[in-house]
C-alpha cells in the first residue's frame, strides 16, 4: 500500500532530511586515505544520536551498522569494518538513514578517496546526473516508469550500466514503503505518481555491466564483472504542481526554467 503524506507530515520528513544532510556533510569531511569504514560508522552513529535521532539501518533485518560503506566495485550494503582501510584512488559510496520524531530520511553519495582517476570521477558525475534526470520526472501525474526511463537512458547514453536488482522505494514512517522505484524502465508505464508520495530515488550506476552478486556476508552486493559502481540518493516529496521537494537537500530550489 502506498501511504500519501499530508503537508504536516512532509514537513516532519523535511526536518529529518535536514538532520541527515548535516550528518552526511560531516561524514564527507571525515573520508580520507587511512581512515577505516568502521571509524566512519562509529562517527555516524554518534552524530545521529547527538541530535536525538535513531540510526535507521542499525539492526534493520539484522544489519550490524549505522551506515553502508561500499568501496569500488561494491554497489550497496558494504558493512563498515575496522579492517577496511580507505586507500588513495578508490571511491566510496556512503548510504545512511535516520529516524527523527517518527519519520525517516534516507540519502547516499559517492566520493573519491584522495586523488582518483578521470574515469572514476566521470562515473560519480554521471550517477549524480542520473538522479537529477530521474527526479525531474517525479511530478504529479507522471508514472514511475518515467523516472526509471530517464535514469536508464542517460546512463546508457554515457556508456554506463544501470543496476537492476536493487531499487529505490517509498519512504515515510518506515524506511522501505511501497512503491518500488526502478532505475530503468519504459516511459508512461507503472504506478501513477501522486501528490503526497514520498520517494527515495537512488540510481546505482556502474562502469561496466549491470549484473550483481551478493557476497558471503549476506549483505554486500558487488558488480559481477567487478567494475566500479557509484550511488546517489535523496528523499523527495511529490507536490501538486511543479517539481518535487528534495527533503534531504536543505535550501535547494528549482530554477524557474527547470520547473
Across the chain, which has 259 residues, the per-10-residue mean pLDDT values are 97 98 98 98 98 98 98 98 98 98 98 98 98 98 98 98 98 98 98 98 98 98 98 96 95 72
pTM: 0.96
Task: Please indicate, yes or no, if residue 254 is contained in any of the structural domains.
Answer: no
Task: Please indicate, yes or no, if residue 259 is contained in any of the structural domains.
Answer: no
Q: Which three cell numbers stand for residue 118?
A: 578521470
User: Is the C-alpha dihedral spanning 58, 2, 134, 243 positive or negative?
Assistant: negative
Q: Give the total number of structural domains in the chain.
A: 1
The domain spanning residue 122 has which CATH number? 3.90.230.10
Task: Please indicate, yes or no, if residue 255 is contained in any of the structural domains.
Answer: no
Task: Please indicate, yes or no, if residue 161 is contained in any of the structural domains.
Answer: yes
Residue 95 to residue 66: CA distance in whole angstroms:
9
Task: Please indicate, yes or no, if residue 257 is contained in any of the structural domains.
Answer: no
- Supply the range of the domain harboring residue 227: 7-246
Residue 256 pLDDT: 56
Q: Among residues 144, 257, 137, 132, which one has the least CA distance to residue 205? A: 132
Is the preceding peptide bond at 209 cis, omega within 30 degrees of 0?
Answer: no
Q: Which three cell numbers stand for residue 204?
A: 546505482
Residue 151 to residue 141: CA distance in whole angstroms:
18
Residue 241 pLDDT: 86
Residue 259 pLDDT: 45
Amino acid at each position: 500500500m502506498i501511504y500519501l503524506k499530508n503537508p504536516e507530515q512532509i514537513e516532519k520528513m523535511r526536518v529529518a532530511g535536514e538532520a541527515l544532510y548535516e550528518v552526511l556533510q560531516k561524514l564527507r569531511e571525515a573520508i580520507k586515505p587511512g581512515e577505516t569504514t568502521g571509524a566512519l560508522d562509529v562517527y555516524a552513529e554518534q552524530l545521529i544520536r547527538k541530535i536525538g535521532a535513531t540510526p535507521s539501518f542499525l539492526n534493520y533485518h539484522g544489519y550490524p551498522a549505522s551506515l553502508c560503506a561500499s568501496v569500488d566495485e561494491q554497489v550497496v550494503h558494504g558493512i563498515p569494518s575496522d579492517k577496511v582501510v580507505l586507500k588513495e584512488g578508490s571511491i566510496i559510496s556512503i548510504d545512511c538513514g535516520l529516524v527523527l520524531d517518527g519519520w525517516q530520511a534516507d540519502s547516499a553519495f559517492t566520493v573519491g578517496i584522495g586523488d582518483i582517476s578521470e574515469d572514476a570521477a566521470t562515473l560519480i558525475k554521471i550517477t549524480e546526473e542520473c538522479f537529477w534526470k530521474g527526479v525531474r520526472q517525479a511530478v504529479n501525474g507522471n508514472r514511475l516508469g518515467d523516472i526509471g526511463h530517464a535514469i536508464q537512458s542517460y546512463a546508457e547514453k554515457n556508456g554506463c550500466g544501470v543496476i537492476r536488482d536493487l531499487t529505490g522505494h517509498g519512504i515515510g514512517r518506515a524506511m522501505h514503503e511501497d512503491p518500488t522505484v526502478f532505475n530503468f524502465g519504459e516511459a508512461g508505464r507503472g504506478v501513477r505518481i501522486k501528490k503526497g508520495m514520498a520517494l527515495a530515488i537512488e540510481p546505482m550506476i556502474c562502469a561496466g555491466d549491470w549484473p550483481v552478486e551478493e557476497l558471503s556476508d549476506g549483505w554486500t552486493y558487488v558488480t559481477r564483472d567487478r567494475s566500479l559502481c557509484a550511488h546517489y540518493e535523496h528523499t523527495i516529496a511529490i507536490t501538486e504542481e511543479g517539481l518535487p521537494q528534495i527533503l534531504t537537500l536543505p535550501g535547494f530550489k528549482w530554477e524557474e526554467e527547470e520547473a
